[in-house]
Amino acid sequence: MRWFVLALCYITMIDRAAAGDVQDAAEALRRGQYPKAIKLLDAVLADEPNQARARAMRGRAHLEAKAYDKAAADFTAAIEAKSAAPQGEAYLGRGRAWYGLGKCDEALVDLNKAVELKPRSAACYFHRGRVLQTKRDFDAALRDFDHAVELNDAAAAYFIARGQLNFERGARFVQYAAERDGKTFTYQQPEGIVDRGRVDAAIADWTKAAELDAAGIEAYELRALAWRVIGDQTKHVADLKQAVERDPDNAERLNHSAWILAVDPDPNVRDGKTALAYAEKACALTKRQNVRFLDTLAAALAENGRFRRAAVVQKQVIDLVKREPGADAADFETRLELYQAGKPFHLPPTTPGTP
């Protein structure tokens, strides 16, 4: 909204012949129609290439479209013009563009300047905090996130970011290696707590974010991780369900939730009916070709007492696994034996995880 208001102010200072295009571009920016805004501003700048305000607007459109190199170029032109254009916004925009390009040092320089020019801008502190967190200057990042929240306590993104920082410092992460689609990759999984106070602070921030953005997904997904780490599986599942409700066509999220609801060791957490609905949809979305999703479907079928069908699906899983050179199907075969014996598969109480 700030950029929309600024853009309307620009109109009086741009040649009247271009005013209509600028106004339309401002409206396109407000609506998130970035290609349209860029096209309109291209026309304006073709006639007035040194118009700093139009440059800054187009930089904003490129930034939101994730064309970071083009955004940086436009913001640089706006800064170098040294006109009445909002320099603080231009430095903020270019700092964000540098960050998008992975140039954290350049980003920090520009965002320091943005804070200097706009000391009451929550956005400046927020984006500088993100850069500082990436550079692992956690104390400075937390100060910036605190300042952003003090200046604007209605922005869910600020609470999410501060929560992520506290969780990163409060949880114990374990690195794993996994193979998917023929590629090996590593990932970190939170498996314990090193500072309960920071984890609780993260939960509080994500709870606030969920209140501020009722349609948002990220706060629920992140809070679900925190509940899992502190051992509250009931709340973990409740937040996963909230996330699924808000994004019902995300196959990975559906599968993750279905697996927990089907195989969790706690019978108070398991929900066979919901697990099966989620698993069926995840498989349908991936045309029943994803081994992990089919494995979850078999577990959900077994949890609902449909052991014959579970065994049929599990045999499909094993067939797909054995097509991969060197693949180990032992775990899948163990589950098949359970289903053939009329038994569901549940994780042992001390084994966290998801397929």
**pLDDT value, residue 298:** 98
CA–CA distance from 212 to each of 100, 120, 148, 314 (Å)?
Answer: 26, 21, 15, 43
**155-192 per-residue burial string, b: 16 or more CB within 10 A, e: under 16:** bbbbbbbbbbbbbbbbbeeeeeeeeeeeeeeeeebbee
User: Which are the contacts of 78, defined by CB distance < 8 A and separation ≥ 6?
Assistant: 52, 53, 55, 56, 59, 85, 87, 90
CA–CA distance from 232 to each of 164, 171, 354 (Å)?
Answer: 19, 15, 16
Structure tokens belonging to residue 16: 């009247």
**pLDDT value, residue 14:** 45
**pLDDT value, residue 21:** 81
Task: Name the burial class of residue 5, with classes exposed (0-12), middle (13-18) and buried (19+) by CB atoms within 10 angstroms of its CB.
Answer: exposed
193 near 229, Cβ under 8 Å?
A: yes
Alpha-carbon span 75 to 8, nearest angstrom: 18
Count other Cβ atoms within 10 Å, centred on residue 250: 17
**pLDDT value, residue 10:** 44
185 near 178, Cβ under 8 Å?
A: yes
**pLDDT value, residue 327:** 79
**pLDDT value, residue 226:** 95
**pLDDT value, residue 81:** 85
Q: What is the mean pLDDT of each run of 10 residues along the chain (355 residues)?
A: 47 54 88 94 89 90 96 94 79 98 98 97 98 97 98 97 96 74 70 93 97 93 93 91 94 94 91 97 95 97 98 96 85 96 89 44
Place of tokens 């589950």: 335
**pLDDT value, residue 182:** 60
Alpha-carbon span 1 to 123, nearest angstrom: 13
What is the rounded (10 degree) CA torsion for 49, 54, 55, 60? -160
Task: Name the burial class of residue 226, with classes exposed (0-12), middle (13-18) and buried (19+) by CB atoms within 10 angstroms of its CB.
Answer: buried
CA–CA distance from 185 to each of 91, 256, 323 (Å)?
Answer: 36, 18, 20
Alpha-carbon span 352 to 331, nearest angstrom: 16
**pLDDT value, residue 188:** 78
Which domains does the chain possess?
A: 153-247 (1.25.40.10), 248-355 (1.25.40)
Alpha-carbon span 161 to 157, nearest angstrom: 6
Collapsing DSSP to helix, strand or coil, 174 comes out as strand
